[in-house]
Amino acid sequence: MAKEYGSAAQWQEDLYQVLRHNGVTLFCYVPDGGHKTLINRSIEDPDVVSVPLTTEEEGVAMCAGCHLGGTKSVLLMQSSGVGNCVNMFALVKNGLFPFVTLITMRGEFGEMNPWQIPMGQGVQPVVEAMGLHCLRAMTPSEVVPTAQAAMDMAYKSNQGVAVLLTQKLIGAKPF
């Protein structure tokens, strides 16, 4: 039986903890079921700021501004939102801003919506073409080390890093 898309799992709590352990205090997001646990935890946590966005590219600029203000951030989005960010990714590359985005993937393993498949196939090539590094987490045991690697690459080397949380990990939406 397929797992419910975005259903709570221990890896999601562990992911929130690794982000907090690394000093992330701003979580910006466009609402997404795959990020439900991270979004809810950030809303409930009095020590962080949780900002819903109207569009994903706002989050890229918000994360850059957060760095200029001396704090750490993460942008949560679904793969279909990557297309909205292409121009803004140049800000990360040219400004040498540390940047971490966690992307819940669609259009991969078990996808039932044909409209999600093209962007799902294009996420990694597009992100890499814009100068960001792409790391994939395919199993629960890969989530924490992948997130830690992303935080290290971003904040110790001033790099942009996208962590792709694959559909094998999060499950496929039934629509």
pLDDT above 50 for 1: no
Owning domain of residue 89: 18-169
Kindly state whether residue 73 falls inside one of the protein's structural domains: yes
pLDDT greater at residue 158 or residue 8? 158
Kindly state whether residue 33 falls inside one of the protein's structural domains: yes
Quote the mean pLDDT of the chain: 93
The phi, psi pair for 75, rounded to 5°, reads -105, 125
Tell me the pTM.
0.94
DSSP assignment of 9-41: -HHHHHHHHHHHHTTEEEEEE---GGGHHHHHH
* CATH number assigned to the domain comprising residue 117: 3.40.50.970
Average pLDDT, integer, range 8-26 = 94
Kindly state whether residue 3 falls inside one of the protein's structural domains: no
37-48 pLDDT, tens digit per residue, is 999 999 999 999
Q: What percent of the chain has pLDDT over 70?
A: 95
DSSP state of 2: P
Kindly state whether residue 70 falls inside one of the protein's structural domains: yes
- Domain count along the chain: 1
Instruction: Count the Cβ atoms, other than its own, within 10 Å of residue 43.
Output: 13
- pLDDT of res. 3: 54
Kindly state whether residue 8 falls inside one of the protein's structural domains: no
Kindly state whether residue 1 falls inside one of the protein's structural domains: no
74-113 pLDDT, tens digit per residue, is 999 999 999 999 999 999 999 999 999 999 999 998 888 8
CA distance 154 to 24: 12
